[in-house]
Amino acid sequence: MDASDLFSSCRKGDVARVRYLVEQRDVELNIRDNWDSTPLYYACLCGHEELVQYLLANGAKCEANTFDGERCLYGALSDSIRRLLKEYKRITAKTMQRDYYEQFLQTLLEQGSYSDVTFMVHGEMFRTHRCILSARSEYFAHMLETKWKGKTMIALKHPLVNPAAFAAILQYFYTGRLDIDVSYVEDCKRLAKQCKIGELIEELEVKCKQVEEFVSNKPGTCVKVLTLDPHDWQLQDGMALLADSALPADLRVGYGQLPFDLTDSFPSYPDICFRVDGYDFLCHKAFFCGRSDYFKALVEDHFSEGETLQSLPEVPVITLHDVSHELFTKILYYIYSDNTQLSHDSVYEVLCVADMYLLPGLKRLCGRTLAALLSEENVLHMWKTAKLFSLSRLEDQCTEYMAKIIERLVERAEFAELIREDAASVAARQETDSIPLVDDIRYHISSSVQTYSAIEEANQKVHALELLLNYIGLDC
């Protein structure tokens, strides 16, 4: 529902509504509709310059000479919007914040933190991680266990191995995304064939055909870079294999009975062990340190400690005392795949641990699960939880729910107390200053008005809220 609202608001040019959906409802800016179009494309097409500026500043993707970039440029209603698009710079602080999983993987590839194997391709060096290459490619998994076994430097000297194509293949393994100059597409397809990535070859062929049709029908356009967007499930499944292999054998419920289970034979190349409740989880510093400052500090603090695994003497062991193995398993899958199973019974515990381990993305995932449990009985408690853990989307969903039931809510003493507490939390609040909770409820009451018949209902809700404020002696 929020996604369709975003597309509709972009067509209308409703900046305030788009800002609300992005900043309060946490809607993804680069989603696509059934016509493979993005919110930015509609904003350009309909000539909403201020909205285009906002979308670009907040992470909408529109690189020059790509299919999406050229499409927006060609469809833009005015020259001022075209200038905005041409001045576009993709990486901003907000972009990095919103796409943090993709950004984490891209940074891991670019910086090579905790790299354990380096490829040299015609003078160009690529620092990589055996665990990721093995999880994402059966070809690399086989080569790293046979011809390249034990090597930390691998030179690829074949004249048909193009460094740009190799870099694109690595980007695909790490992020699921691929950006390649159109002149190197055939090199990329040849390398993909060698690496036995049939699905990538098919995607490249489909994208090439799409671009050819677009350029032939839109004179003056020029697409120089071919871009494939990631299939999240495909990337997450590949990375989840690392979490599968990190699990102690005793905790792999159901594993070993399936014909396609790879965890016993899959070489994951762990370099850190977390011991929880006596269980050893064989993990990777690149993921835990890259995704959590808590674990980064923990690993660095334990660097000089001497405990290691008997079976793998080069792997240090860190014992965690503040989490159960059940909860750590959920943390494990989130860190590797950006997703984890959350039950209604465990979500509060996971939320507390996610807060402790400095995993804001997992907190937001918990927030989505909690939102599905919203009811008239728990909405006040849920709002407090959202405030405590800085879950802005859940907080907004709670106030939206409160607005719907406000006429019954004002009769509850705990709601009146909640308003008093929120008023008291406003620093140096004057007698007539606004109260954030009340402001948010008023906003949702007014924003739900679509017809004349709804005006009277909204007025009744506002009146009920005003009566409560008068009763408890607050003016805002």
pTM of the model: 0.80
Q: Which amino acid is at 167?
A: A
The predicted pLDDT at position 155 comes to 95
Domain edge (last residue) among 230, 258, 293: 230
Domain edge (last residue) among 313, 328, 362: 362
Shared domain check, 109 and 187:
yes
Query: Distance between CA atoms of 134 and 267, rounded to whole angstroms?
Result: 7
Shared domain check, 270 and 211:
no
| Per-residue pLDDT tens over the stretch 314-328 | 899 999 999 999 999
Shared domain check, 60 and 115:
no
Domain that holds residue 389: 377-472
Query: Distance between CA atoms of 283 and 300, rounded to whole angstroms?
Result: 15
The predicted pLDDT at position 404 comes to 92
Task: Name residue 156's beta-bridge partners.
Answer: 121
Shared domain check, 73 and 120:
no
The predicted pLDDT at position 290 comes to 94
Shared domain check, 321 and 278:
yes
Question: Is residue 368 in some structural domain?
Answer: no
Torsion sign (Cα): 437, 439, 441, 444: negative
Question: Is residue 319 in some structural domain?
Answer: yes
Shared domain check, 117 and 85:
no
Shared domain check, 334 and 243:
yes
The answer to whether residues 371 and 351 touch, using CB atoms and an 8 Å cutoff, is: no
Q: What's the CATH code of the domain at 77?
A: 1.25.40.20
Shared domain check, 221 and 247:
no
Count structural domains, the chain: 4
The answer to whether residues 449 and 458 touch, using CB atoms and an 8 Å cutoff, is: yes
Question: Is residue 371 in some structural domain?
Answer: no
Query: Distance between CA atoms of 331 and 449, rounded to whole angstroms?
Result: 42
Question: Is residue 372 in some structural domain?
Answer: no
Q: Which residues of the chain fall short of a pLDDT of 50?
A: 90-99, 254-260
Question: Is residue 149 in some structural domain?
Answer: yes
Shared domain check, 216 and 107:
yes
The predicted pLDDT at position 172 comes to 95
Question: Is residue 370 in some structural domain?
Answer: no
Q: Tokens in use for 249?
A: 């054998």
Shared domain check, 82 and 17:
yes
Shared domain check, 355 and 442:
no
C-alpha to C-alpha distances, 34 to 19, 37, 97, 232, 240, nearest whole angstrom: 23, 7, 27, 17, 28
Burial of 452 (0-12, 13-18, 19+ CB in 10 A): exposed
C-alpha to C-alpha distances, 278 to 253, 274, 306, nearest whole angstrom: 17, 10, 18
Q: Which residue has the tokens 């990337």?
A: 235
Domain edge (last residue) among 97, 131, 163: 97
Shared domain check, 220 and 123:
yes
Question: Is residue 367 in some structural domain?
Answer: no
3-state SS string over the chain?
A: CHHHHHHHHHHHCCHHHHHHHHHCCCCCCCCCCCCCCCHHHHHHHCCCHHHHHHHHHCCCCCCCCCHHHHHHHHHCCCHHHHHHHHCCCCCCHHHHHHCHHHHHHHHHHHHCCCCCEEEEECCEEEEECHHHHHHHCHHHHHHHHCCCCCCCEEEECCCCCCHHHHHHHHHHHHHCCEEEEHHHHHHHHHHHHHCCCHHHHHHHHHHHHHHHHHHHHCCCCCCCEEEECCCHHHHHHHHHHHHHHHCCHHHCCCCCCCCCCCCCCCCCCCCEEEEECCEEEEECHHHHHHHCHHHHHHHHHCCCCCCECCCCCCCEEEEECCCCHHHHHHHHHHHHHCCCCCCCCCHHHHHHHHHHCCCHHHHHHHHHHHHCCCCCCCHHHHHHHHHHCCCHHHHHHHHHHHHHCHHHHCCCHHHHHHHHHHHHHCCCCCCCCCCHHHHHHHHHHHHCCCCHHHHHHHHHHHHHHHHHHHHCCCCC
| Per-residue pLDDT tens over the stretch 45-67 | 999 999 998 898 888 887 766 77
The predicted pLDDT at position 92 comes to 41
